[in-house]
Chain A
Amino acid sequence: MGLLRDWHYIEKAVEIPALSEVIRESLIRALFVRDDRVLPKDLIADLNRLPPVTVKVKDDSEVRKLVRVLNGQESTVSLGLSAEDYHFFRTQLGVGRTREFGVVVRPRTLLTYDWIVPEQRGVQLDFAAYAEIEFSEDAHRAIAQVGATWKQLYDAAPAKGHRVPFVPTVPLDFAVGDGVYGDAPFGAYRGEFGAYVNALRTISPFGHRARVGFEEVANNGTAYDLLHATLPLAGEFFLPVAIALRLEAKPAAHKTLTYTFDDGAKLSVALDKLTRSSTSPDWVHLTDAVAARTLRPSAAAEAFTVQVSVSGTGTGLPAKEKALDTAMAGFKAKSPDVPNPFDVPADVYRKTAETVARSLFVGEVRLPAKALGDFLAKIRAFGDQSTAKAGAYASLRATGIVSAFPFFAAPKDRSKVYNLSKGVRAIASKVPGAAFTSRLAHLWEEEANFMRRMALLRSLKLTIDTAHVAQPLVAP
């Protein structure tokens, strides 16, 4: 598991003389879909092997101990396992042989697909039971253990006088930690998830507690900002166990306004205009008709639905609403009563998330707002062509960029995922200023600067994780 691990694996594979003749993209396809016509059976067996041991974490000291045991600094006896578990642990991991063991963190909810190379012989950590949230009394911040769900955080914050500024573009039941070692698409109108992360509490590859960033204040001017450089891949550098989050004050009043559009061109113009206006909403969430039907099955779905959350003083809200109406000119209808996907009871949210999760997601496409209508039309046409009805969730950023998540009604088999991803990439590559940022897109990309950056990241990972513990790199 891990993007760097997958990338490294591919890089090493293309160095193998017998495989170097295979075009990089064909090799990635073969590895991704486990193609036994191209690859030897042993290799496919390796790729299909799952970590033999899963540890359900209840306390971060358990992770520390585990890392020390796997590093050979402590004996397996110190784990305090029952005789049966002890025997299982040692035989499954092959403790006592000359092997390296890796530790991987399993995301609670994976939006897209599994990584190409699973942890070969290490331990998988399940943080579902490590899920407490500690809100600050005198500041707008919280420390969430990685297993805590986003919804848990979002619902608990107002009672403590805070507001969680970031929401998931695709409303799945993500853990907060999925934002640093999974693919949870958290974001707000004013910034990406990283803008709200002050620090990570981690366990270093040597079993020490290490805080990356600062829990109480922002991380500025303290040498290299490693926190934000590694944030999307933090689990490959160290083992994050808790996240210090920057929240905002609970507003005196807030409102969700729903605008519907019947035309993609009008939608694009409105979104672009909104980002060029002086209005600053909390978040802007978009769905096409297919996605809207999933979220609100009982309501009639328009071609496009834009939900905007605004907050402020009680007296200031009408002015903000007026400004929004002006910016969103071209909408077909407006309603203040349509529930948004986030402010619903936890069980309703979970139920909807289960329905949403049935679709096949291929990853994020980031593109200028004014190109959104055209892009969604192309995705729809591509879905029809591929007999996989397409839809999309998206959210808007103040920079004029839309973060869109196309999805398809198709079985989640790996070859389907691969082909649909390729199709989405082809569409995105024709939109000026767009980027397809999925994990497969990372592997496909061969631009010199990108390769250089990935190589630097890999070197950084190897320098930080000299013990080869946090999702160690492997070669075929």
Chain B
Amino acid sequence: MASLDYAYRRLVNTLGPERVARSEFERMVYSHDFATLPKVALLQWKLYPDFVALPQTTEEVAALVKLSDESLLQITPRGGGTGWYGGSVPNRGGVLIDMRKMNRILALDPDGRTVTAEAGVTWKDLEDFVESKGFVLPFVPTNAVGSTGFGGLRGGRLRDAIANLEVVLPDGKLLSPAPKADAGGQLADLTSLFFGAEGTLGIITKATIRVVTKPETSKALAYAFPDLPAAARFLKGIVDSGLEPYHAVLADRDHFVFERALRSDSPEPADLALVGLQGSKDDVADTERTLDGLAAKEKGKKLAVDVAERLWRERYNNYSARRLSRGLVTSYNLVPVGRLPEAVETAAKIRRRLKLNGSVQAYLVDTTTAALVPYVLMDDTRPSGGTALGFVKRMGDAAFKMEGHPMGLGLFLVFNLRKMHGRATSFISAVKAVFDPRKKINGGKTLEVWTKYPWPGVRAIPPQGMAVGLEIAAVLRRVKPTRDHFVRAYEHEKGA
């Protein structure tokens, strides 16, 4: 391996000194993603990258990938850093490639109904841009982990909304995984492989995304229910009635308790369902009538239009509760729609049992699937903070029991891979072996767990070791005698 100083000089020669960082502070910023990590993780992984590189063009990304053949440093690609399980965090240092300087929207093709953007563009910016041109995105993902999100019931999945990608492969060459024309998955379309890959197959530098004509009408509806299972039954009722709203989500009252602690003008805490409708005026009106009927069956109370519209406008700002506790852990699972009422109850039960502050949320993904996305608050500056990670393990186990599965593997949840895929795990592993036989891009994640130590015997740990660690965290959490009171502490602090 080349010396770090030599590697730095080569990086600076490629990008210039202003786009290569190696200071302690900058490296620290990149040592975690959206999830908060306990400091003890530093014993196992070198979470701080050796260098942070900020390329501005695809050619620069390709040059960085080729450079790693000289320096033998691992490459970790990173987008907005909104992942939850360490997918964009280094495990052996190396070069972290931050894509956020590649943030140009390159072209809108109104005839072909696509927009092409670089990898660092945020979904919000892209959505605003296409809306200004009379289009909307058929699908907006909720996070970096999976490909579920807003618009699934009508617009399918993220992979249906992506017409093509530009990827720098581990050998430094460029690949368009799909043909130029829409071939419906034919002509050797490999795009699907990059969904869920968490940056382990190559570095996506551009995406061509489908857009649809702006709907005639958009409307948001919100209903308050007597309890969370009733809200879940309401969501199931939407699927059983054959309705196709743009999006349907539920959140428990605790979420609004946190919101209210942060902003006094937030809605009255209640177990709520929020539904976004799009379509022709008549169609939207008819769907609204049916939804009102479904909500009434579950004793749901329709909220004022301005409340619903406000909740809809703020749909992307879901985790402001993080400010209460300094940290937040989210568990992301897919469960069958038929078992959604049971799933939300289970999530609430696990949260209570582990004495955690948090919220249960869920939304419809398609006609068979709902995403169960509870979050819990944690304060990693306290000794007990890291034990909140046990919640993710317990939720994943519960999802398996309900014939669903957790989402995201990253650095922490690799032990779920075999549970998810059983004997097909070897098929999945074959993909990485074909694309990146030297494991130089984001290696030691998703399929296996590397440690920071290069010595035989301790280079990697059995994924089950991670499972045991998180299970211990859950047990410790359960035996912890007291419950955190983040809201009270926050209000006290604010008052002081």
Tell me the complex Cα distance, A89–B417, Å.
Answer: 40
Q: Which residues of A contact B405 (CB under 8 A)?
A: 214, 217, 222
- Check A187 against B184 for contact (C-beta < 8 Å): yes
Give the complex CA separation of A270 and B123 in angstroms.
32
Flag the segment in A74-82, A114-122, A307-315 that touches B.
A307-315
Would you list which residues of chain A between 197 and 224 have a CB under 8 Å from chain B? Answer: 198, 202, 204, 208-212, 214-224
Q: Taking A220-B334, A249-B242 as contacts, is the C-beta distance between A232 and B186 under 8 angstroms?
A: yes
Contact of B185 with A216 in the complex, beta carbons under 8 Å: no
- Judge if A433 is at the interface, Cβ distance under 8 Å: yes
Query: Is B263 close to A, CB under 8 A?
Result: no
Given A221-B408, A464-B427, CB of A450 within 8 Å of CB of B190: no
A399 close to B146 (CB less than 8 A): no
In contact, A223 and B417 (Cβ under 8 angstroms): yes
Q: Please indicate the chain B residues that have their CB under 8 angstroms from the CB of A457 in the complex.
A: 188, 190
Smallest CB gap from A185: residue in B: B184
Query: Which A residues touch B421, using CB under 8 A?
Result: 211-212, 222-223
Distance A368 CA – B183 CA, assembled complex (angstroms): 11
Q: Does B280 contact A323, Cβ atoms closer than 8 Å?
A: yes
Contact status B182-A280, CB under 8 Å: no
Residues of chain B contacted by A441 (CB below 8 angstroms): 187
A456-B283 in contact given A218-B365, A311-B242, A366-B184 (Cβ < 8 Å): no
Residues of A within 8 A of B403 (CB): 215-217
B241, chain A: closest CB distance, angstroms: 6
CB of A215 to closest CB in B, whole Å: 8
CA of A320 to CA of B216 in the docked complex: distance in angstroms?
Answer: 13
Write out the residue numbers on chain B whose beta carbons fall within 8 Å of the beta carbon of A280: 154, 244, 279
Give residues 440-467 of B contacting A (CB, 8 Å).
446-447
CB-defined contacts of B217 to chain A, threshold 8 Å: 278
Q: Mark B296-339, 1 if CB is under 8 A from A, else 0.
A: 00000000000000000000000000000000000010111111
- Whether B435 pairs with A456 at a CB distance below 8 angstroms is yes
CB-CB contacts of B215-248 with A at 8 A, as 1s and 0s?
A: 1110000000000000000000001111010000
Q: Nearest CB to that of B421 among chain A residues?
A: A222
Give the nearest-CB partner of A199 in chain B: B424
Given A195-B160, A223-B197, A249-B240, A460 contacting B287 (CB threshold 8 A): no
A170 an interface residue at 8 Å Cβ cutoff? no
Do residues A216 and B336 form an inter-chain contact, with CB atoms below 8 A? Answer: yes
CB of A454 within 8 Å of the partner chain: yes
Q: Are B156 and A191 in contact (CB under 8 A)?
A: yes
Partner of B192, one of A190, A229, A312: A229
Whether A212 contacts B244 by the Cβ 8 Å rule is no
Tell whether, in the assembled complex, residue A433 and residue B367 are in contact, meaning their CB atoms are under 8 Å apart. Answer: no
In the assembled complex, the CB of A319 is this many whole angstroms from the nearest CB of chain B, namely: 3
With A210-B423, A229-B189, A435-B182 as contacts: A460 and B112 at CB distance below 8 Å: no
- A237 in contact with B427 (CB, 8 Å): yes
* A456 CA to B189 CA, complexed, in Å: 11
What's the least CB distance linking B449 to chain A, in Å? 14
Alpha-carbon distance between A212 and B193 when the two chains are bound, in angstroms: 13
Instruction: Please tell me if A303 contacts chain B, counting CB pairs below 8 Å.
Output: no
**Interface members, chain B 404-440 (any A CB < 8 Å):** 404-405, 407-409, 417, 420-424, 426-428, 430-435
B157 is an interface residue with CB less than 8 A from chain A: yes
User: In this assembly, does A356 line the interface, its C-beta being within 8 Å of a C-beta of chain B?
Assistant: no
Q: At the interface with chain A, which of B14-22, B25-33, B171-179, B266-274?
A: B171-179
Specify the chain B residue showing the minimal Cβ separation from A254: B242
Q: Is the CB of B112 within 8 A of A433?
A: yes
> Smallest CB-CB separation from B435: which chain A residue?
A456
A225 and B195 form a contact (CB under 8 A): yes
Instruction: How many A-B residue pairs have C-beta atoms within 8 angstroms? Tell me.
Output: 267
For B182, B210, B368, which residue has the most chain A Cβ atoms within 10 angstroms?
B368
Mask: chain A, 433-476; 1 = CB below 8 Å from B; 0 = not:
11101000110010001101110110110011000000000000
B430 to A, closest residue via Cβ: A463
List the B residue with the shortest CB-CB distance to A218.
B369
* Nearest Cβ on chain A to B244's Cβ, whole angstroms: 7
Stretch of A136-144, A258-266, A414-422 contacting B (4+ beta carbons < 8 Å): A136-144
Q: A322-B282, A463-B430 are in contact. Are A218 and B188 (CB under 8 A)?
A: no
CB of A226 within 8 A of CB of B145, answer no
Residues from chain A with a CB closer than 8 A to the CB of B213 are: 276-278
Interface residue A257 (Cβ < 8 Å from any Cβ of B): no
Q: Is A246 an interface residue (CB 8 A)?
A: yes
Q: Which residues of A contact B184 (CB under 8 A)?
A: 187, 192, 364, 366, 397, 401, 403, 437
Taking residues whose C-beta sits less than 8 angstroms from the other chain, chain B's interface range is 35 or more
| Contact partner, B175, options A187, A252, A313, A453, Cβ 8 Å | A453
Partner among A140, A210, A217, A276 whose Cβ is within 8 Å of the Cβ of B334? A217
Task: Take A195-B156, A221-B147 as given contacts and tell me if A279 and B179 are in contact as well, using a CB distance cutoff of 8 Å.
Answer: no
Which chain B residues lie closer than 8 Å to A238 at the CB level? Answer: 427
User: Are A212 and B434 in contact, CB atoms less than 8 angstroms apart?
Assistant: no
Q: Give every chain B residue within 8 A of A163 (Cβ-Cβ).
A: 242
Q: Which residues of A contact B332 (CB under 8 A)?
A: 221
Which residues of B lie under 8 Å from residue A211 when comparing CB positions? 421-424
Contacts of A219 in B (CB 8 A): 196
Quick one: closest A residue to B154, CB to CB? A280
Task: Compute how far the CA of A398 lies from the CA of B191 in the bound complex, rounded to whole angstroms.
Answer: 20
Q: In this assembly, does A67 line the interface, its C-beta being within 8 Å of a C-beta of chain B?
A: no
Contacts of A220 in B (CB 8 A): 146-148, 157, 195-196, 334, 365, 407
User: What is the distance, in angstroms, from B147's C-beta to the closest C-beta of chain A?
Assistant: 5
CA distance in complex: A278, B155 (Å): 12
Q: Point out the residue from B198, B366, B447 that lies within 8 Å of A246, measured CB to CB.
A: B366
User: Whole-angstrom distance between the alpha carbons of A229 and B368 in the complex?
Assistant: 21
Verify if A247 is at the interface (C-beta below 8 Å from B).
yes
Cβ of B281 to closest chain A Cβ, rounded Å? 8
**Which A residues are CB-close (under 8 A) to B160?**
191, 195
Q: What's the minimum C-beta distance from A379 to chain B, rounded to whole angstroms? A: 17
Which residues does chain A contribute within 8 Å of B192, judged by CB atoms? 224-229
The answer to whether A224 and B196 have CB atoms under 8 Å apart is yes
Q: Assess whether B111 is interfacial by the CB under 8 Å rule.
A: yes
User: Quick check: A316 and B159 within 8 Å, CB to CB?
Assistant: no
Contact partners of A397 in chain B: CB under 8 A: 184
The distance in angstroms between the C-alpha atoms of A192 and B159, with both chains bound, is: 12
| Structural contact, B368 and A316, CB atoms closer than 8 A | no
B290: Cβ under 8 A from any A Cβ: yes
Instruction: Give Cα A316–Cα B287 distance, bound, in whole angstroms.
Output: 8
A320: chain B residues at CB < 8 Å are: 282-283
B60 within 8 A of A: no
Q: How far is the CA of A206 from the CA of B242 in the complex (A)?
A: 41
Report which residue of A136, A217, A403 has the largest number of chain B beta carbons within 10 angstroms of its beta carbon. Answer: A217
Q: How far is the CA of A221 from the CA of B416 in the complex (A)?
A: 11
Establish whether residues B193 and A229, one from each chain, have CB atoms under 8 Å apart when the complex forms: yes
Min Cβ gap A476→B in Å is 22
Q: Is the C-beta of B116 less than 8 angstroms from some C-beta in chain A?
A: no
Query: Which residue of the partner chain, among B173, B188, B197, B368, contacts A198 with CB atoms under 8 Å?
Result: B368
Would A194 and B185 be within 8 Å (CB), given that A278-B278, A457-B190 are in contact?
A: yes
Tell me, yes or no, whether B96 is within 8 Å of chain A by CB: no
Contacts of A222 in B (CB 8 A): 196, 405, 407, 409, 417, 420-421
B289 interfacial by beta-carbon distance below 8 Å: yes
**Is A423's CB within 8 Å of the partner chain B?**
no
Give the residues in chain B near A218, CB-CB below 8 Å.
148, 157, 334, 365-366, 368-369
Complex CA–CA separation, A437 to B420 (angstroms): 33
Distance A216 CA – B157 CA, assembled complex (angstroms): 16
Q: What residue in chain B is nearest A433 (Cβ atoms)?
A: B181
Whether B423 contacts A208 by the Cβ 8 Å rule is yes
Question: Could you list some 5 contacts between A and B, CB below 8 A?
Answer: A140-B367, A198-B368, A223-B409, A280-B154, A449-B179
A138-B338, A217-B368, A249-B242 given; 19 more Cβ-contact pairs under 8 Å: A139-B337, A139-B338, A140-B239, A209-B423, A216-B368, A220-B196, A224-B195, A224-B196, A225-B195, A225-B196, A249-B241, A276-B213, A278-B215, A397-B184, A398-B212, A433-B182, A437-B183, A441-B187, A450-B188
Q: Which 7 A-B pairs have the closest CB atoms?
A: A221-B146, A221-B407, A319-B282, A316-B286, A437-B186, A435-B181, A138-B338
